[in-house]
Amino acid sequence: MLDSEINQSKREAQNKPKMSFNVILLSCLVLLPVTFAGNMERTTIVIDGARRISEIDENFVCATLDWWPPEKCNYDQCPWGYASLINLNLYSPLLAKAIQAFRTLRIRIGGSLQDQVIYDVGELKTPCTQFKKTDDGLFGFSEGCLYMKRWDELNHFFNATGAIVTFGLNALYGRNNLNGSAWGGDWDHTNTQDFMNYTVSKGYAIDSWEFGNELSGNGIGASVSVELYAKDLIVLKDVIKNVYKNSRTKPLVLAPGGFYEEKWYSELLRLSGPGVLDALTHHIYNLGAGNDPGLVNRILDPNYLSGISGTFANVNRTIQEHGPWSAAWVGEAGGAYNSGGRQISETFINSFWYLDQLGMSSKHNTKVYCRQALVGGFYGLLEKETFVPNPDYYSALLWHRLMGKGVLGVQTNASEYLRAYVHCSKGRAGITILLINLSKQTTFTVGVSNGVKVVLQAEPVKNKSFLGTIKSKFSWVGKKASDGYLNREEYHLSPKDGDLRSKIMLLNGNPLVPTVTGDIPKLEPVRHGVKFPVYINPLSISFIVLPTFDAPACI
């Protein structure tokens, strides 16, 4: 055994939280001895089904499409290819099917170059040309152009695939560089207004317009003061009201699409005022640089993963205190920045980080979480050349199909290496549990309680008379937990051949790959009765659907 594995095993033993009296009682009463090869840990999770601790949007899962041309390179590698909005192959059947599998996938259009995009409509002050490498441009590129023919093609594609579109606007148009990264002057809204007028005239549905990308606070490459930003948001809101005055629905306004800084974000809400900003967007790249040798260790470290929870909590608190009319969105999150980590971000191991992010952010009232990217870089949900799904695509699809809007509170006596998140099930009764096992050695056998009665045993019940004795003495062990054969559904995710860096994810032991006809494979669960325990193998992920769990908050 490697020293790192020995040390982790020691930490797992040392860091187990003490069980509450209720959980100890449950374990003593219903957990019978079991013989199992390897390191086994019995655990009970207690779910509060009486109230929702937060709520997400119906279309919480979101993926981005970026502007980066093929010349975008990091660490002597150029991983974008033809994944840009300006050159993406919109006629690929697999790309369309990958989006259609969600039925309604939210797509955010934007990224570093969006504040250099000119829309080729109306009277322009400068020529509209494609991005070119240049030493004096932001991020090493000149201004670029969105031709209306391409905008037409994109919208036909979005309409055909059921995409819900957020478009990131150029917030630097008309401004000038003051010094360093600071930009000043008034934002020129004429090009945006002409672009919106064209969009409305064509009947293209835009769910939301986002203003600027990473210009808040100190900015990334460029920055705009909070006073100017708030002033321009008010202008943008008026432009949208005017352009959409005859429309039945009006798009939301999102901003600032940057990295959270409490003072700047609070001031933005205060200065723009009520009814202007519908969603406060922030970005997450908490794993570090794409070439950082510590990426794998961070992904598997529960303490490191939990470190970002403060940001989600702080964004939520800022909104409650300074702008309760707004909502928290993660507008862009790729884990590792600078196009992601090669042979990491596109492999199974990244789903530990990704699904943990979805679960953690949900608990803090985040409404939408946009993954960078749908296609492009090493963190694309789809391969940029073939559009074959990477493992995180299936993680996103399962979440989208199984995890409903209501988020429920969870308590557990497990070690920190078992992560547990619970939502009302999507479109059906009951609940869905997401379990992430970060341990290299420990298999968890999991029981579920609603705090009053055991709903799912942590071990098989072999002695009916013994169970009957328990039930006669403790009325809270209910009939739902022990009588009849009530099915639950399980979706167990693991890497092919046990290789955490495999690009093939297994669902209940079967490889997830497109079918011979080029379709997204069906995601079929295995079904078990509630009498049988749930086993979560080391370094694996599971969704468990309990359709009969009594959760009043989910009605």
Q: Which residues are catalytic?
A: 214, 332
Length, in residues, of the chain: 555
Helix (H, G, I), strand (E, B) or coil at 243: helix
Main-chain phi, psi angles of 520, to 5 degrees: -70, 130
Any bridge partners for residue 111, and if so which? none
Dihedral of CA atoms 65, 68, 69, 70 in degrees, nearest 10, equals -90
What does the DSSP 8-state code read for residue 19? P
Give the 3-state DSSP-derived string for 99-149, with helices as H, strands as E and coil as C: HHCCCCCEEEECCHHHHHEEECCCCCCCCCCCCCECCCCHHHECCEEECHH
- What is the rounded distance in angstroms from the CA atom of residue 383 to the CA atom of residue 374? 9
- What is the rounded distance in angstroms from the CA atom of residue 62 to the CA atom of residue 332? 9
Give the 3-state DSSP-derived string for 252-289, with helices as H, strands as E and coil as C: EEEEEEECCCHHHHHHHHHHHCCCCCCEEEEEECCCEE
459 close to 515: Cβ distance less than 8 angstroms: no
Nearest to 309 by CA among 354, 270, 359: 359
Q: Which residue intervals of 333-463 are DSSP H helices? A: 350-363, 391-402
Q: Name 294's Cβ contacts closer than 8 Å, sequence gap at least 6.
A: 288
Longest alpha-carbon distance in the chain: 85
Q: Name 69's Cβ contacts closer than 8 Å, sequence gap at least 6.
A: 80, 84, 86, 87, 130, 131, 141, 144
Main-chain phi, psi angles of 401, to 5 degrees: -85, -30
166 close to 109: Cβ distance less than 8 angstroms: yes
> How open is the CA angle 376-305-493, to the nearest 5 degrees?
65
Q: How far apart are the first and last CA of the chain?
A: 49
Indicate the pairing of strand 252-258 with strand 208-211. Answer: parallel
Burial class (CB in 10 A: 0-12, 13-18, 19+), 126: exposed
- What is the rounded distance in angstroms from the CA atom of residue 24 to the CA atom of residue 9? 23
